Amino acid sequence: MIETEKYWKKKLSPDQYHVLREAGTEPAFSGKFYKHKEKGKYICGACGNELFSSETKFDSECGWPSFYDAPKGNVEFCEDNSFGMKRTEVLCSKCKSHLGHIFDDGPKPTGKRFCINSLALDFDSGK
């Protein structure tokens, strides 16, 4: 079911809404998951869809949580030409919320860097 923006405004904090629903970006080095090292799953902060495993998280020193892979089908990609740049936006495949961007400068085995806003994420340790 596709939720309305009214629903998201009630469910999310103003900062989460700005990132997830308005494609905003949190300040670099400010997010709660930037240096997070616990084992588990990173899930969409809006709908709870599983997005990334802690096993694929790495320190890219870019200021945002970075991952080199995502479960197949759990994220979608969209061309983003905002701010005079050509980038690829990463969206949650379930609720279409903005997560961040993907770049081709990540580590092996994929060579990808999913640069994701902490405000777009929640964490499930499985405990």
Catalytic residues: 115
Dihedral of alpha carbons 13, 56, 59, 105, sign: negative
The DSSP letter of residue 98 is E
Structure-token match 């980038």, residue found: 87
What DSSP character marks residue 44? Answer: E
- Which residues lie closer than 8 Å to 71 by C-beta, 6 or more apart? 50, 51, 52, 53
